Structure 1
């Protein structure tokens, strides 16, 4: 048995539009070790959500392979994929729109159990009560409607719903970005606790590196559909090896207002995925870019133990 629950190889997702082809996910490869939380970070438009949903085949990939526990999900029929989805779930970004306002909380959480014919009505109700308590809510809440809860409580309901089928893998898609900072911390601690108690494996999608630094074991940095850097969270936080990662890191607020940090500023906007730049797609916003950056796609370079960077000038810029 491999140590990786997921192994993603050369994954690509393109969307054909009247204006051309959108390169949403462009030849991405990485692994998700069992029991780990891998953070996927980048600006809006970098392809994070598309990648997360493609891993679950909620969006069909254009090409590439997604190996889940040794099985290539891209080869499965819709029937086989339905069974596999019991082992993988998603927590959505918006705890309001992801919950049907016409259903009581108990029915929302029990949807998956009912769809798969698991348990009697009473057994499902008992299961829902246990799930609510596991995520820090009162079991009596199952008879209320979503509008009666705060944003943080609704996100806990969404987490309970994702746990109902006892999954091994969860995609958490910007699952704390809509919450206040204090509530964010509570939900992050809940996710850490659930990981330990259930031995869950997670892909945590975020745009905030400070959140990822707190929660995750490894970090994958994406920009315009491509991987920029991949490595242990400590390396990504303290010794990033790509100019884009350094720019994201330097934007993290510091708790001491008197502290001074070297900044790597991003200029301009992220280019259109309809017409990504040649070579390194980040070069049009990179202060270190030269002519070499426009010539051919960057290959992964080792920046340390289990740490990769996709920057042609990495050794020159950071004197490695």
Structure 2
């Protein structure tokens, strides 16, 4: 990461974010626990991890689509978790989301012009000819034709529907967008097109993006920084180049080992990742990754690893990271 990037001020600072749900029988689901990171203005941060890691819950909580249990989210100097619902409405236009499933997130009974019109209603955008111009502008922005405004969602392919979802998110000219696994439901051939579109829009519009994914290869292509989550906690975070070049957490290494590499001359270290992610109702003591970690020792069951600073913005939550780095 360049010095210029390091000096960019954060748009969003997340401190000790906690989200717990009440489960059956009075049990507590620990979806997100003590998550902290920041997102610099005009950059893209990748939030990655397996299904059940808490990344989608974290993203939706940051927008207060789900109310937090604890922590702070300081957006442009204001803790939005402390705002009343009425005061929060002023921030809705500045913060938007692109959903994972491009079909279920669009009302099948509405034409595209009405779907985009709903978003424009939220910011009191004038109706009539000016609105039609704005709808045409949004469709063109995401690579569709203005005449597509009269069609219904079922008349489009999955990639086209996701472009409509992106247009809807951008309709109110937000500063911050959460992209919740926006390409995971698409064919591989279409994923690259949508990723290129997001990358282009981020640069052209100066957007700040939180890109949620389970595929580290996707995040490497798109993101300036990466945050690796497991069972509700952050395992490692830092500039993408640093994390990919020198992953220090066993979980990050395991995820990277399964990510495809387009270069056949390169090989990744094989890191076994046995078993399934534990239940968030009864997470392991100490390090939550220890039950699947090939390097776990007795102390891992007793200590919740702090986020050790490795230099720059690179942090890792593993009590053995120095030993593992020397051994690799």
After TM superposition, the score normalised by the length of structure 2 is: 0.95
1:188 alignment partner, SS class: helix
Write the deviation string for residues 169-212 of structure 1: whole angstroms up to 9, x where unpaired. Answer: 00000001111122111111111111111100000000000000
* Corresponding residue of 1:137: 144
C-alpha distance in 1 between matches for 2:57 and 2:38: 17
C-alpha distance in 2 between matches for 1:182 and 1:30: 32
1:282 alignment partner, SS class: coil
Deviation at 1:79, TM superposition (A): 1.3
C-alpha distance in 2 between matches for 1:32 and 1:246: 23
C-alpha distance in 1 between matches for 2:84 and 2:198: 31
* Corresponding residue of 2:276: 269
C-alpha distance in 2 between matches for 1:317 and 1:156: 43
1:85-164 mapped onto 2 (5 Å cutoff): 85-164=92-171
Cα gap change, 1:296/1:235 in structure 2, threshold over 3 Å: closer, same or farther? same
C-alpha distance in 1 between matches for 2:64 and 2:15: 15
Deviation at 1:296, TM superposition (A): 2.1
2:326 alignment partner, SS class: coil
Q: Could you tell me whether the CA contact under 8 Å between 1:241 and 1:303 is conserved in 2?
A: no
1:244-259 mapped onto 2 (5 Å cutoff): 244-255=251-262
C-alpha distance in 2 between matches for 1:55 and 1:270: 24
2:45 corresponds, among 13, 38, 46, to 38
Q: Please identify, of 171-180 and 301-310, the stretch whose mean Cα deviation from structure 2 is larger.
A: 301-310
**Structure 2 unmatched runs, 5+:** 1-6
The alignment covers a number of residue pairs equal to 320
Write the deviation string for residues 10-38 of structure 1: whole angstroms up to 9, x where unpaired. Answer: 00000011241000000101000000000
Q: Quick check: 1:13 aligned with 2:13? A: no
1:167 alignment partner, SS class: coil
1:318 alignment partner, SS class: helix
C-alpha distance in 2 between matches for 1:273 and 1:304: 31
1:212 corresponds, among 213, 219, 235, to 219
Where has structure 1 moved over 4 Å in runs of 4 or more?
256-260
Deviation at 1:121, TM superposition (A): 2.7
Cα gap change, 1:59/1:149 in structure 2, threshold over 3 Å: closer, same or farther? same
Write the deviation string for residues 233-281 of structure 1: whole angstroms up to 9, x where unpaired. Answer: 1112121010000000000123356754320110111000001000000
Deviation at 1:75, TM superposition (A): 1.1
Q: Could you tell me whether the CA contact under 8 Å between 1:41 and 1:220 is conserved in 2?
A: yes
* Corresponding residue of 2:236: 229
Deviation at 1:122, TM superposition (A): 2.2
1:90 alignment partner, SS class: strand
* Corresponding residue of 1:306: 313
1:64 alignment partner, SS class: strand
Cα RMSD after superposing both structures: 1.4
C-alpha distance in 2 between matches for 1:207 and 1:297: 24
Deviation at 1:119, TM superposition (A): 1.3
* Corresponding residue of 1:4: 10
